[in-house]
Copies of this chain bind each other. A is one copy, B any other.
Amino acid sequence: MQDFRRTHTCGQLTAKDVGQKVKLSGWVHRRRDHGGLIFIDLRDRFGITQLVFDPVLSPAAHKEADKMRNEWVITIAGEVIMRAPDMANAKLTTGEIEIKTSQISVLSKAHTPPFSICDDFIEVNEELRLKYRYLDMRRGDIAQKLVKRHQVMMAVRTYLDQQRFLEISTPILGKSTPEGARDYLVPSRVHPGAFYALPQSPQIFKQLLMVGGMDRYFQIAQCFRDEDLRADRQPEFTQIDLEMSFGTPDELFPIIEGLVGQIFKTCGAIDIPKTFRRMSYAECMNTYGTDKPDLRFDMPLVSIDDIGEKSAFEVFKAQLIGGGIVKAICVKGGADITRKGIEEYTAFVGRFGIQGLAWMKVQEDGTLNSNIVKFFSPELQTELLKRLECQPSDLIFMVADTPERTNQALDHLRRKIARDRGLIDRNRYEFLWVTDFPLFTWNADEGRLESEHHPFTSPHFEDLGLLAIEPLKVRSSSYDLVLNGYEIASGSQRIHDSSLQQQIFSILQLSNEEIRSRFGFFVEALSYGTPPHLGAALGLDRLVMILTQTENIRDVIAFPKTQKASDVMMDCPSFVAQKQLHELNLAIEAQENIP
């Protein structure tokens, strides 16, 4: 049995260790023969250290070294020496030294891996990388992202502990609720025909913890949704979930700002503002056409309904008469966009149902050039230039359609132009609180109001008087935190007053029976003395993605699933023994029965 215990990692030794006798263990990253000398790059998670084998000084070790192959695991003993100055590698921490190796032994040989570990510039198909996830980790990139994820989780826990939040684990085997997304179900053996459900979030549990007086709770919680996956979704995902009693958003926002600040500082060495901008949902939709604007660049959406109305441009006028709106953006310096470019942007907004994209270029003399400029009087042209703060060689894009389509199209167009024109500084972090979402939406199919979030979301305190008379105008006390166009947190104040809760239920036209069957035990819990409370959930996966500058959620998860919700490494989900199904009183439906 070899002694494989090491004195140092492969990322540790530097010039100041010269002369030390050391033992290292790790993987053969590369082996090279140079005029009798053999060099091996020895690798572990911490770095690479160069080993040198001299046939004169250590003939036995040199002979063994010659047999080594990539990815074999070896252990060596030797002495730290300086490299010749012209052989130093400034890219490595250990680049000034090498190990004059006197002993080497093999701990574990390796088959040839299905892709190269040491040539990390070679692009490998993602499905193959996922099948051999453990080999992909050795290439360093995934490993570094997992290290970052660990650091983020440590920062979160340290900070929230200091803020008097308790981490409390809530059950994974929970109850199926017919609301929201599809549940993953878990059949019960002990209770034939009954099922647990994996939690979509710990929402009900964390509110119960507040009812129970736990005051401040958090959890880095696994959550589950059986949805058809988009590129940035996983069937299981991780949420930094928190809830506090006796506070309002004015208490919660600084806590989350501090939390995010701590994460960025300790895990990214990035200083961000101590407080984040706030903007109401209404203003945000108006200005950016979206509730998650990317503020790393400007280019706001500007309403020009009045200008459209006074113009002679029938396209705009027709939309306005039909209840539509007209909005414009100013592309700084965009006069260089060619006719072909404009056509491409027109096709682009067409994807969102927009029939045409009107444009005007601001010429050097400050006048406008466009195929439709003739429909706008000089006064309207002046007003347009002023309102959009245009300069010579800018370009104006204008869209007229329903509010929803106009906002959606211009939001996408604004972001596409920013990408195309390189307006996005990848090292900027622009945070925004979007507040006061509507409390209700109108369900036209059922002819009744629905909760925008869930029926326990508190109305905005200032709008309580509107509840009975204009419920669609009632804002909720809810908030999202947006970073660079991504929603990274979301939350709300919850209703703690049972008479207000009853009023909400009656606005939603819920019968007592419906209340009981849908929210039964939870409504009872609220009736025993509930403190005012509020909370939020932050997407951990997304935060780590932002800090590691990847767009691929699978890069920040140790063992992710594919978009078909499969683990291709373990070959899972998989078929199970008939005996297991029998114990669960389950049968697989014949395929013809499947609707």
A residues bordering B, Cβ < 8 Å? Answer: 1, 4-6, 9, 25-27, 43-46, 71-73, 75, 107-111, 113, 132-138, 143, 146-147, 149-150, 153-154, 157-158, 161, 166-176, 178, 182-198, 204-205, 208-209, 211-215, 222, 224, 226, 228, 235-236, 238, 245-248, 251, 461, 464, 496-498, 521, 525, 527-532, 557-559, 561, 564-567, 569-577, 580, 582-589, 591, 593-595
Q: Are A588 and B589 in contact (CB under 8 A)?
A: no
Q: Are A573 and B166 in contact (CB under 8 A)?
A: no
| Contact A585 B594, CB 8 Å, known A188-B565, A561-B173 | yes
B residues in contact with A236, CB < 8 Å: 171-173
User: Taking the nearest CB of chain B, how far is it from the CB of A286, in angstroms?
Assistant: 27
Q: Are B138 and A531 in contact (CB under 8 A)?
A: no
A89 CA to B318 CA, complexed, in Å: 78
| Contact A143 B213, CB 8 Å, known A25-B531, A222-B169, A246-B6 | yes
User: Taking the nearest CB of chain B, how far is it from the CB of A221, in angstroms?
Assistant: 10
Known: A1-B464, A26-B531, A110-B528. 20 other contacts (CB 8 A): A27-B529, A107-B531, A108-B498, A110-B527, A111-B527, A134-B209, A153-B167, A157-B157, A170-B558, A174-B572, A175-B574, A176-B572, A188-B573, A190-B566, A191-B565, A196-B572, A205-B559, A209-B558, A521-B569, A585-B591
Q: Which residue from chain B places its CB closest to the CB of A9 in the assembled complex?
A: B215
User: Which of these, B71, B174, B194, B564, contacts A190 with CB under 8 Å?
Assistant: B564
B residues in contact with A561, CB < 8 Å: 171, 173
B residues in contact with A189, CB < 8 Å: 182, 226
User: Taking the nearest CB of chain B, how far is it from the CB of A355, in angstroms?
Assistant: 37
Q: Are B572 and A44 in contact (CB under 8 A)?
A: no
Q: Are B572 and A175 in contact (CB under 8 A)?
A: yes
Q: Are A137 and B73 in contact (CB under 8 A)?
A: no
Q: Are B5 and A497 in contact (CB under 8 A)?
A: no
Q: Which residue from chain B places its CB closest to the CB of A167 in the assembled complex?
A: B150
B residues in contact with A213, CB < 8 Å: 27, 43-45, 137-138, 143
22 pairs from A and B in contact (CB 8 Å cutoff): A4-B531, A6-B246, A9-B215, A25-B245, A108-B497, A109-B529, A110-B527, A150-B166, A169-B238, A172-B236, A173-B565, A173-B567, A173-B573, A174-B567, A174-B572, A175-B571, A182-B583, A184-B186, A190-B564, A190-B566, A196-B573, A585-B589
A190 CA to B572 CA, complexed, in Å: 12
User: Which of these, B137, B173, B205, B531, contacts A209 with CB under 8 Å?
Assistant: B137
User: Which of these, B133, B527, B570, B582, contacts A212 with CB under 8 Å?
Assistant: B133
Q: Are A570 and B521 in contact (CB under 8 A)?
A: yes
| Contact A175 B567, CB 8 Å, known A150-B167, A198-B186, A529-B73 | yes
User: Which of these, B191, B248, B528, B577, contacts A178 with CB under 8 Å?
Assistant: B577
A226 CA to B196 CA, complexed, in Å: 12
Q: Are B168 and A558 in contact (CB under 8 A)?
A: yes
User: Which of these, B108, B157, B188, B224, contacts A172 with CB under 8 Å?
Assistant: B224
Q: Which residue from chain B places its CB closest to the CB of A496 in the assembled complex?
A: B108
B residues in contact with A107, CB < 8 Å: 496-497, 531-532
Q: Are B6 and A134 in contact (CB under 8 A)?
A: no
Q: Are B584 and A170 in contact (CB under 8 A)?
A: no
B residues in contact with A532, CB < 8 Å: 4, 25, 73, 107-108
User: Taking the nearest CB of chain B, how far is it from the CB of A205, in angstroms?
Assistant: 6
| Contact A171 B531, CB 8 Å, known A137-B212, A246-B4 | no
B residues in contact with A531, CB < 8 Å: 4, 25-27, 73, 107-108
B residues in contact with A521, CB < 8 Å: 569-571
A497 CA to B527 CA, complexed, in Å: 62
Interface core residue of A5, A154, A190, A558 (most chain B CB under 10 Å): A558
B residues in contact with A497, CB < 8 Å: 107-108
Interface core residue of A135, A149, A213 (most chain B CB under 10 Å): A213
B residues in contact with A43, CB < 8 Å: 213
Q: Which 8 residue pairs of A and B lie closest in terms of their CB atoms, listed nearest first?
A: A110-B529, A137-B212, A175-B572, A134-B212, A194-B573, A188-B573, A71-B529, A1-B461
Q: Are A146 and B496 in contact (CB under 8 A)?
A: no
User: Which of these, B5, B569, B571, contacts A247 with CB under 8 Å?
Assistant: B5
B residues in contact with A190, CB < 8 Å: 228, 564-566
A47 CA to B525 CA, complexed, in Å: 22
Q: Are A574 and B195 in contact (CB under 8 A)?
A: yes
A75 CA to B531 CA, complexed, in Å: 10
Q: Are B188 and A186 in contact (CB under 8 A)?
A: no
